[in-house]
Structure 1
Amino acid sequence: MERFCVTILASAIAMYSASLAAQETASDEDVVELDTFVAEEEVNDDLGILQSEPVDSVFGFGKTILETPRSVSSISSEFLDQFNAKGINDIVNFVPGTFTTSFFGVAGSLDIRGTAAENYFRGVKRLNNEGNFPTPIGASDRIDVIRGPMSPISGPSKVGGALNFIPKSARASTGQYMEDSTGEISYETGSWDRNIMKAELGGPAKFLGDDAGYYLYGEINNSDSYYKNDFTEQTLLQASFNKDLSAKTRIEFGGMYQDWRGHENGGWNRVTQDLIDNGTYITGIPATNIDSEFGNGDGLINEPEIDLWETTLAGLVSTGEPFTPGTVSCFTGLVPFCFNGNFEPLDPSMITQDLVDGLGIGLDPATVGTTKLSGNEVLISKLDEYDTEASTFYFDIIHDFDNGWSITNKLFYDAQEYTNVDSYGFTKIADAWVIEDQLIFAKTFEFNNWTSALQLSPSIRYTDAFYALDFGHEIFDRTDLSQGFNALSIQQVPSRLPPGAESWSDYWNSEYTQYGLAAMVDMNFFENLNVLLGGRWDYVDAEGENGDGDGPIILRTFDPDGEHSASNSDDGFTYTASVSYTIAEKFTPYITRAEQQTIVSGSAGDLDTENIKNKTFLGESELDEFGLKMSLLDGRLYMAGAYYEQQRIAFSSQNPVSNQAVESEGYELEFRYVPFDDLALIGTYSNQETRVTTPGGVTFSYIGAADMPQVDPSAVYGGIIGGNIVVGEKPLRGGIPEVTWSLSASYKLMQNVKTNLSVTYVDEVESSVLGGITLPDYYLVNGSVVYDSEKFRFGVFLNNILDEDYYRGNFPSLYGNNAVLPELPFNWSAEIAYKF
């Protein structure tokens, strides 16, 4: 940490000295140097769909998306408003290659090309958000969706892709400040007591005689939900400030604060194909009331009560003859672990009815029946909670030298703290923060027939992450959703116990410092041929602990070393190489090859202590991409297509929760068309195949009733069976459909009135890596009418107009056939805004 502070101090001194030198040498003439900006003036593209503005998200050279040799899509705030996109899951309707399975109902990050993506804020990576809170999009001026890894300048990133959020600012991408102040106050209502207030204000200013600008955004959300016992309470504040220190030097700073309260949503339990197809749900209550028979009857199932109940069960394994080769044996308890013979992996078809009956985890036969289940009856109880605070701050200093060099120092801070409690037996808590400083030197060199733009960037990033979770008795199926949670199913969790009485599955404290050195060069030859090369070297110094040493925490961990600490270091090299060639100023084919060394971190940016000990906290990934981009019909039609093969290699740190090794391949098509000024069209098509790479053809998973058709489901629904399952070396990931496509249109019906319609098709898909449950295909149709004048905006938005029943796989790699999230039926919202 001391080295980090020294580096930041040195960078700040260097930038301040550059600022003083610039003020001494700058002329008195007020000159504003604008960045390159290419616009098709003859096209009225007020939704920003034609991808014609410079985008720095991928490589930072001010290229447009048409010029960028990678698959990128940009979505403007105006487009988000017209199509009522409120969360990152809505982006799926407008960007190819994106489809997100449910991370217990919390839209924290997208899946891109079948793998988890990352979130960036102004080009700097935020902490992981694997369902820790809904990532906000309303405060963004633009969202760039990058398929494939980010620039080496931004640090090694996940191979699937990233979302880069550009906050609303008083300084436009052209480098100019707003001419006048602007603001807006809006209110939104709708289905299920939707209740959202927003306000924003921005404009130019003068401060100490130089140009400045500001933009403020605030949002308060206090809404109920379609799902029983669910709600959203959120306060979101964002501010950005820009200030010219001289004609050559400026600063940009600001931040975002988010306070969110809601719930995880496990969706439906007791999943069968009949439930998905017909809504037929198996009812019944567990045969054993653990709380009253083995505890204090307080209405909560405590871990000591489960321990006492387990002492009454017959032996180590259900057969009474442990470790018999060629037969299936199971450890007893609420979460039996089953295996074939001497801990060999098994096929679920080998599990017999007699074996399951012997486990004693089923429902009371006298209570078993069926009923029709509504989509709003889900795994949320009134005792559940999810409270998160997240903060992001940035401070940039940019200086342009007279010799053509520029220097940028980007200082970035991100933090999140949360507590999550789920009555089916899961809780997690986290307190993590990261601080990063990037120093970027840039210059463009011009020669007779070619130009070369260069970036050099040393950086340092320090992460301090605490993350604890308890999943030892995470039982979805004890709850009869037709009756709701009760004393038979609600579990006590350690985050609600006094110090000294807590028992956790894992209790990670980790800190690590990442030192990076990156370079990028963008070379253009004869105005047609472009070669882009980038490389990065990272050195990571890490230490961590699972447990609290001599403290009061009880650790019931699957970690083979129990409570222990570790420290280690490792380094890795990242590179990207792209070649593109523009033909007749209309067609640009390209090829890209990239290899990444990514830090394998957990839900809150934490490092697994075993990964530190074994020096496996860096994971490799690879991307090959071939693409073609086109600008036709005088710039009114943008088209792009890409074929890709990518793989994330993390065998030594394989984890079905967040760090699976996967291979993906597919192709994506996109068009954006403004045939005339009153009509805008967007179309996407994706065909992808994502497979989990499982050395030895075995993965750990919980086994749903659909995986054991030979067993009566009611004999299992009081607990949950897990094991190392034979799935083959490259099974489909589950939950990610092969084919999706979408078509969206915005039409100016009359002066100030636009109608908008989007249709998205999603192919059928198996919900789990094990197969067994098929989620049906569906068409999602959304529409809206928006009146937008100089002073007022009024919109009515209709979602799922066809009232389709459709579902998302929930955590497909671990719980795919145990829980499925039913999505929202037809719903509406309306927004009114006053602009000033």
Structure 2
Amino acid sequence: MKGLLNAITFLLIMANTVAQQGEIGGTVVDNNNDPIPGVNVSILGTKLGTQTNIDGYFEIKNVPNGSQEIEISYVGFKTKTLSVTAPSSNLKVVLYEGNEILQEVQVVGRNNQFSRKKTAYVSKLPLKDLENSQVYTTVTSELLDSQVVTNIDDALNNATGISKLWEATGRAPGEGTGYFASRGFATQPQLVDGMPGFTLSAVDPSYIERIEVVKGPSATLFGSTATSLGGLINVVTKKPYEGFGGSVSYTTGSFGTHRVSADINTPLGGKGGPYFRLNTSYLTQDSFQDAGFRNTFFVAPSISYRVNNKLNVSFGLEYARTKQTNPSMLFLRRGVPLLAKNTDELNIDPKKSFTSNDIHLTSPTFNTRTIIDYKISDQWTSQSIFASSYSEAKGYYQYLIDGGALAFLRLNSLLTDPNLQTLSPILTPLVQPMLTEANGLLQTEAFTRIFDKRDANASNYNFQQNFIGDFKVGELRNRLVVGLDFVSRSQHSRVQTGNPVVTTTSNFPQLLGFFADPQSVFPLIPDNAVPTLNATGQQIAAGFNAFPYFDAFISAQGNVIPSSFTPGATYSPSTENLEQVFGQIPVNSVRTNSKTYAAYVSDVLNVTKDLTVNLGLRLDHFEQNGNEATPDDDYSKTTLSPQVGFVYQAIPRKLSLFSNYQTGFINVDPVINVDGSTTNFQPVKANQFEGGVKTNLFNGKLNLGASYYHITVNNRTTTDPQAILLVNQIDLKEIVSKGVEFEVNANPLNGLNLRASYSYNDSQITDPTSEIAGRSVTELLNRRPEEAGPQTVYNFWADYKFQEGSFLENLGLGAGFNGASEHHTINNAITGQFTLPSYTVFNAGAYYDAEKFRIGLKVNNLTDEVYYKGWSTVNAQASRAFLGTLTYKF
């Protein structure tokens, strides 16, 4: 009987407990009464939460009855907190759009983890992808975690249509990131949270919320403050959020890789904040080649404080310091025909670095951003942003160029000058051996190893004021941004370049000695001819001393080629030897600055519920002070940049058809030539027409994007193919770049996430007329520009995490590949074509992701593919590498 009473008592307690639990449900809509799918709904103080479905509906079960605080958050909308009495099943919550630049919210439990097409940066308005006429691709933090990515260059392998051209070197302030080809034009990661900044390769992936690649010219909203012909790369950083949490990670692996990172978020006050977040990391990594390293320290504190329901203030800064050797980049000869036409003929040894760990650059950077967001009304928001960037580059920059021996061929003029023919018996024995040796070096790929000493710093200051509105005029909904933009840039360069050593080698001492005292060698020379000969000798010495310093000729296999011009040359250079040389070279101190004043307006107009039109216009006034020591390169320019876009949701919230017309421009700095004259360039202008389709199917589990674009660029600055050794910049009247891009992000099964993309680009120089060169540069007609990269670029990644309740619960597997077609890294009728081969690189990984820790393993370049990238260069890429990471979460 006692047991029966106990059982009845237990059942009554359970029944009473169940009776005290209910559910909270409802619908989330925007202020246009459209349902919002994918909204995060959570009950504060508990682990209960969910997301809205395609119809904006949510339901949370097993909620304790009584008063509960629920939080509704969605990227691009203002977070809302409500008091609700459970049970309650008919809530209707209206979210007002806001700007996520101000406060990033945590996204929990997204099914399609590789697709995050919700942003307020691309259009400076919180638009859903399906209503945005702009094309952009997103690389999410979940994708970076799945791939155990340790640098921004590898992260961009996942971006649609992006191919790396140059390695990250830190050779100049603000140019530490690599160069990438997008839609046929070179670009760099130059935006941080939508503002111009010095990103460098030091931005640690643990700090990256996502990377957004905005496709095509984008001057209407971003101006010329960043390259905007083929695309912009924007790094979106992690922001503070409500609550306490974080993680600490350690990664190690091949090539001496060691990386420690931490991400800590904590409140500094009560529930209303402020909230503080700290991201920091330290990376040391050697090269896959016989020398080379990179050490990077990174720290980024940020704070966000919602003062009240109308005012939000946030502040963030990033400090990074990178010390690294120059990655191996072999520049191919110009102005004369190539010997080898591909990497097989060049017979390059990809394991050779052509340097030593003693030669390096140090590149510190410091970025800040202060953002003040004030809600004027439910329809209008004011946003004020102040951003600053500071960067330095110090140390020795090294590069190798084939055909450097061409410089010595100028000595041939001593043998052909009619005024020196009587001196031929004296000059020929001195000059001819040097010409013979130089010609011998040109009969093989003899890469000249060149150095200069860098000491430069640059600063950017940017103030931006935006007024963002969401209102109706009659029945027409308008989402409007009106902005003012001011950018100030300055740079101080103290570069040392020159060659005080070359005239002490080979037969130069005897040759210059003769011109200094010709009568001691040939007494019959009349006295009135001596000054002319003295001047000739001084001109020869000055010309060669002005060349950059080089210390060796090296074959593509890494063998030092003996030469009288580089006596005692060794494979591994040292700083000690360079200091002795550069102590004799004067510092060339140059200060430059420029300012940009801009105003812009962009309106997304709902003509009907499913048809939107985007109209935008920007006015830029650019003032170039250039070199402060001379007014010759000063100029000002005013430019208008229009934009038009159309989006029709053929299936509301599921399928959109879009088209756009976009413009872009780049102001090109004048060049002060050796003779003191100034060469001025017209701004580079771009126009793009694009059309395509975007989808969001099966409740967000399948996102497809496809587009065709046609870009026309005028006055594009490039290198004159007739220039020998020295870079001579000219402009080209017209380049046409067109192509297609496809992207798929899918979540076909619970736990399975897929990402794939394919792009094809056809870029040609259609009119090589150059006002600067004063001729039609027919050597480039109908050729693909070298900066355009490979025609075809593709990538794929699959990640599967076994679900709860299965035998392999918490275990995940990842695998994929990325590749490209062949690429003509040199392409003109004078030099010829040098072809980098096509490649496909396979990668794979596995991880165990529990509540408190994560263990990950990754193999990069699984098949140990030998492949190259470049832009007038040959850059060997990393061989097979193993990485492991351990993360503790709290």
Return the TM-score normalized by structure 1: 0.71
1:122 equivalent in structure 2: 193
C-alpha distance in 2, partners of 1:221/1:500?
Answer: 33
User: What's the secondary structure of 2:206's corresponding residue?
Assistant: coil
Whether 2:433 is the aligned partner of 1:408: answer: no
C-alpha distance in 2, partners of 1:600/1:241?
Answer: 37
2:864 equivalent in structure 1: 803
1:187 equivalent in structure 2: 250
Q: Is the 8 A contact 1:699 1:725 kept in 2?
A: no
Q: For the aligned residues, what is the CA RMSD?
A: 3.6
- Select the residue among 156, 162, 178 that pairs with 2:232: 162
Query: Cα offset for 1:111?
Result: 2.2
- Select the residue among 135, 140, 150 that pairs with 1:71: 135
- Select the residue among 212, 215, 225 that pairs with 1:144: 212
Q: Is the 8 A contact 1:421 1:493 kept in 2?
A: no
Measured against aligned partners, the alpha-carbon deviations of 1:668-692 in whole angstroms (never above 9, x if no partner) come to 0111111121211111111112335
Q: Is the 8 A contact 2:251 2:885 kept in 1?
A: yes
Tell me which protein shows more strand as a share of its residues.
2
Query: Cα offset for 1:144?
Result: 1.0
Q: Is the 8 A contact 2:166 2:178 kept in 1?
A: no
Q: Is the 8 A contact 1:431 1:467 kept in 2?
A: yes
C-alpha distance in 1, partners of 2:574/2:626?
Answer: 30
C-alpha distance in 1, partners of 2:123/2:201?
Answer: 28
Q: Is the 8 A contact 1:139 1:167 kept in 2?
A: yes
2:569 equivalent in structure 1: 488
C-alpha distance in 2, partners of 1:33/1:429?
Answer: 55
Amino acid aligned to 2:592: S
1:528 equivalent in structure 2: 610
Q: Is the 8 A contact 2:193 2:235 kept in 1?
A: yes
Whether 2:325 is the aligned partner of 1:263: answer: yes
**Correspondence list, 1:301-316, <5 A:** none
Q: Is the 8 A contact 1:425 1:492 kept in 2?
A: no
2:620 equivalent in structure 1: 538
C-alpha distance in 2, partners of 1:57/1:184?
Answer: 27
User: What's the secondary structure of 1:153's corresponding residue?
Assistant: helix
Distance 1:143 1:663, change over 3 A: same
Whether 2:738 is the aligned partner of 1:665: answer: yes
Query: Cα offset for 1:663?
Result: 3.2
Distance 1:517 1:43, change over 3 A: closer
- Select the residue among 353, 376, 381 that pairs with 2:356: 381
Q: Is the 8 A contact 2:203 2:320 kept in 1?
A: no
Whether 2:173 is the aligned partner of 1:97: answer: no
1:734 equivalent in structure 2: 786
Return the TM-score normalized by structure 2: 0.67
Distance 1:91 1:798, change over 3 A: same
Whether 2:704 is the aligned partner of 1:639: answer: yes
Query: Cα offset for 1:598?
Result: 2.5
C-alpha distance in 1, partners of 2:113/2:679?
Answer: 48
Whether 2:590 is the aligned partner of 1:590: answer: no
1:571 equivalent in structure 2: 638
Amino acid aligned to 2:710: E
Query: Cα offset for 1:507?
Result: 5.6
Query: Cα offset for 1:422?
Result: 3.5
Query: Cα offset for 1:275?
Result: 7.5
Tell me which moved more, 192-201 or 424-433: 424-433
2:851 equivalent in structure 1: 790
Query: Cα offset for 1:151?
Result: 6.2
2:451 equivalent in structure 1: 426
Amino acid aligned to 2:237: P
Identity percentage of aligned residues = 19
2:372 equivalent in structure 1: 397
Query: Cα offset for 1:495?
Result: 9.4
Amino acid aligned to 1:446: K
Whether 2:889 is the aligned partner of 1:835: answer: yes
Distance 1:269 1:593, change over 3 A: closer
Amino acid aligned to 1:825: S
Amino acid aligned to 1:202: N
C-alpha distance in 1, partners of 2:777/2:219?
Answer: 38
1:459 equivalent in structure 2: 485
Query: Cα offset for 1:754?
Result: 1.1
Amino acid aligned to 1:121: V
Measured against aligned partners, the alpha-carbon deviations of 1:586-626 in whole angstroms (never above 9, x if no partner) come to 3211111112233336xxxxx75579966646332221111
Q: Is the 8 A contact 2:220 2:642 kept in 1?
A: yes
Gaps of 5+ in 1: 1-28, 172-177, 282-372, 550-562, 602-606, 701-723
Measured against aligned partners, the alpha-carbon deviations of 1:444-500 in whole angstroms (never above 9, x if no partner) come to 112453200111111211111124554844769812453469843769999957999
Measured against aligned partners, the alpha-carbon deviations of 1:348-376 in whole angstroms (never above 9, x if no partner) come to xxxxxxxxxxxxxxxxxxxxxxxxx3x22
1:754 equivalent in structure 2: 812
- Select the residue among 379, 392, 403 that pairs with 1:417: 392
Distance 1:267 1:457, change over 3 A: closer
Amino acid aligned to 2:127: K
Measured against aligned partners, the alpha-carbon deviations of 1:630-654 in whole angstroms (never above 9, x if no partner) come to 1223331111111111233335787
**Correspondence list, 1:38-57, <5 A:** 45-46=110-111, 48-52=113-117, 54-57=118-121
C-alpha distance in 1, partners of 2:120/2:677?
Answer: 34
Amino acid aligned to 1:738: Q
2:797 equivalent in structure 1: 744
1:769 equivalent in structure 2: 827
Query: Cα offset for 1:767?
Result: 2.3
Whether 2:305 is the aligned partner of 1:243: answer: yes
C-alpha distance in 2, partners of 1:654/1:269?
Answer: 13
Tell me which moved more, 763-772 or 270-279: 270-279
Distance 1:598 1:136, change over 3 A: farther
Q: Is the 8 A contact 1:49 1:672 kept in 2?
A: yes
Larger Rg: 2
C-alpha distance in 2, partners of 1:143/1:654?
Answer: 31
Whether 2:569 is the aligned partner of 1:478: answer: no
Q: Is the 8 A contact 2:290 2:351 kept in 1?
A: yes
Measured against aligned partners, the alpha-carbon deviations of 1:296-333 in whole angstroms (never above 9, x if no partner) come to xxxxxxxxxxxxxxxxxxxxxxxxxxxxxxxxxxxxxx
Q: Is the 8 A contact 1:72 1:144 kept in 2?
A: yes
C-alpha distance in 1, partners of 2:699/2:620?
Answer: 44
C-alpha distance in 1, partners of 2:589/2:763?
Answer: 32
Whether 2:759 is the aligned partner of 1:691: answer: no
Amino acid aligned to 2:276: Y
C-alpha distance in 2, partners of 1:148/1:761?
Answer: 22
Q: Is the 8 A contact 1:683 1:744 kept in 2?
A: yes
C-alpha distance in 1, partners of 2:686/2:493?
Answer: 25
Amino acid aligned to 1:538: D
Amino acid aligned to 1:426: F
C-alpha distance in 2, partners of 1:729/1:274?
Answer: 20
Query: Cα offset for 1:269?
Result: 7.2
Amino acid aligned to 1:50: S
1:174 equivalent in structure 2: none
Query: Cα offset for 1:520?
Result: 0.9
- Select the residue among 692, 708, 716 that pairs with 1:627: 692
C-alpha distance in 2, partners of 1:430/1:494?
Answer: 22
Gaps of 5+ in 2: 1-80, 84-92, 101-106, 170-175, 333-337, 399-448, 499-546, 721-726, 803-807
Measured against aligned partners, the alpha-carbon deviations of 1:378-429 in whole angstroms (never above 9, x if no partner) come to 2323442111011110001110113632111100001110024245223344
2:599 equivalent in structure 1: 517
